[in-house]
């Protein structure tokens, strides 16, 4: 897709570039001509009583270097993009070069990944070389959200504990990495009831995990929790098929306490895990999934180690 909003900008940039190169050559031609300005070969200007500016021609090496520079610029703009929307005769693009480099890297790594393709996650997790590759894949593709130690932060899941929104089995992790996930908690205030009902439900949710709560309000909120049970289950244990969190543990992805839960019920929340199937090969995803699966069992290996 062109970066220009209209063809007019492309024409303007191309014309300005070409006229600029022509202007450089014209300026060089004018400057290279020796003009007699005084009998003593000076420009006629005198400073500090005896300092005179000579009227010598430009050095030939400087002129040729200037000409070569302009010629190089013209050749470059012929072969490579630079004149508006003109793609250049070589049809080079940064995207094409990146894809070629990616393909070259995959070809070079194919023999290494080949032996891992048929290995289950449990075996890969014991292979030091495979986990080293998985760690580098994690740092390059996952650490930006989940942290270099994979412990996440507010809004980004901790991958070293036993709490999995979409399931923690290797195949489920592979699906999450490859296809991504979209978690949606819709605003539920209207379904729950009044403002007091929302706070009562928040207290009931706190009670599910044994967190400090108001017992009387929690009892009032229990019947209203039925509006949430469709996703989180009647006992609040969540549903991996929907990515609905388990409310009975003490893992709070978006914040703990009555105010955080009330804000979630009133406003809802949308979370997205981007798909990586176009960024990583199937073999890379297989190794990366085994690395992530092993993080829970290792208690979270620090990627810095």
pLDDT tens track for 162-200 = 999 999 999 999 999 999 999 999 999 999 988 899 999
CA 302, CA 34: separation in Å to the nearest integer? 71
Is residue 85 domain-resident? no
| Whether residue 291 sits in one domain with residue 256 | no
Among 160, 254, 242, smallest CA distance to 202 is for: 254
| Whether residue 291 sits in one domain with residue 164 | yes
pLDDT tens track for 97-147 = 988 998 898 888 888 888 899 899 999 999 999 999 999 999 999 999 999
Is residue 227 domain-resident? yes
The DSSP string of 91-113 is ---HHHHHHHHHHHHHHHHHHHH
CA 188, CA 170: separation in Å to the nearest integer? 33
- Given a cut of 70, is residue 2 above it in pLDDT? no
Q: How many domains are contained in the chain?
A: 3
pTM: 0.70
| Whether residue 285 sits in one domain with residue 143 | yes
- Given a cut of 90, is residue 223 above it in pLDDT? yes
The DSSP string of 29-85 is HHHHS----STTSEEEEEETTTEEEE-PPPPHHHHHHHHHHHHHHHHHHHHSS-STT
| Whether residue 117 sits in one domain with residue 57 | no
CA 233, CA 226: separation in Å to the nearest integer? 9
Is residue 194 domain-resident? yes
Whole-number pLDDT of residue 301: 46
Q: Which CATH number belongs to the domain containing residue 211 in this structure?
A: 1.10.760.10
Is residue 84 domain-resident? no
- Given a cut of 50, is residue 209 above it in pLDDT? yes
% of residues, the chain, pLDDT over 90? 67
Whole-number pLDDT of residue 304: 38
Place 1 in a pLDDT band, splitting at 50, 70 and 90.
very low
| Whether residue 196 sits in one domain with residue 261 | yes
- Token pair in block for residue 291: 């690395």
Is residue 89 domain-resident? no
Which domain range does residue 171 map to?
A: 100-180+277-298
Among 130, 175, 146, smallest CA distance to 300 is for: 146
* CA angle (188, 222, 248) in 5-degree steps: 85
Is residue 91 domain-resident? no
Whole-number pLDDT of residue 37: 64
Helices (H), 93-233: 94-117, 121-124, 128-141, 143-146, 170-179, 189-192, 195-208, 215-224, 229-232
Kindly compute the dihedral angle of the four CA atoms of residues 21, 23, 24, 29, in this order, to the nearest 10 degrees.
130
| Whether residue 125 sits in one domain with residue 111 | yes
Whole-number pLDDT of residue 86: 87
- Given a cut of 90, is residue 224 above it in pLDDT? yes
Place 303 in a pLDDT band, splitting at 50, 70 and 90.
very low
Burial of 96 (0-12, 13-18, 19+ CB in 10 A): exposed
| Whether residue 257 sits in one domain with residue 282 | no
Among 156, 266, 249, 154, smallest CA distance to 202 is for: 266
Is residue 93 domain-resident? no
| Whether residue 287 sits in one domain with residue 162 | yes
Place 77 in a pLDDT band, splitting at 50, 70 and 90.
very high
Are the C-beta atoms of 172 and 178 separated by less than 8 Å?
Answer: no
């Amino acid at each position: 897709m062109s970066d220009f909003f209209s063809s007019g900008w492309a024409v303007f940039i191309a014309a300005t570039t070409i006229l600029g190169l022509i202007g450089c050559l014209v300026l060089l031609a004018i400057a290279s001509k020796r003009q007699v300005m005084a009998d003593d070969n000076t420009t006629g200007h005198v400073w500090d009583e005896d300092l005179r500016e000579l009227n010598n021609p430009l050095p030939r090496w400087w002129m040729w270097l200037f000409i070569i520079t302009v010629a190089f610029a013209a050749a470059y703009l012929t072969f490579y993009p630079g004149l508006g929307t003109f793609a250049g005769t070589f049809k080079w693009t940064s995207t094409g070069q990146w894809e070629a480099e990616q393909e070259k890297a995959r070809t070079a790594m194919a023999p290494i990944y080949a032996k891992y393709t048929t290995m289950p996650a449990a075996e890969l997790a014991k292979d030091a070389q495979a986990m080293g590759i998985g760690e580098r894949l994690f740092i390059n593709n996952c650490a930006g959200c989940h942290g270099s130690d994979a412990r996440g932060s507010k809004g980004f899941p901790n991958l070293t504990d036993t709490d999995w929104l979409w399931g923690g089995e290797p195949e489920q992790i592979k699906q999450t990495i490859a296809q991504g996930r979209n978690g949606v908690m819709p605003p539920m205030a209207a379904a729950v009831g009044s403002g007091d009902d929302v706070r009562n439900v928040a207290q009931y949710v706190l009670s599910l995990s044994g967190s400090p709560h108001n017992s009387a309000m929690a009892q009032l909120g229990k019947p209203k929790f039925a509006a949430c049970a469709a996703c989180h289950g009647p006992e609040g244990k969540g549903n991996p098929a929907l990515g609905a969190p388990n409310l009975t543990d003490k893992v709070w992805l978006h914040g703990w306490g009555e105010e955080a839960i009330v804000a979630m019920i009133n406003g809802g929340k949308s979370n997205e895990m981007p798909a990586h199937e176009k960024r990583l090969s199937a073999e890379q995803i297989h190794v990366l999934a085994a690395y992530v699966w092993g993080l829970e069992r290792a208690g979270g290996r620090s990627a810095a180690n």
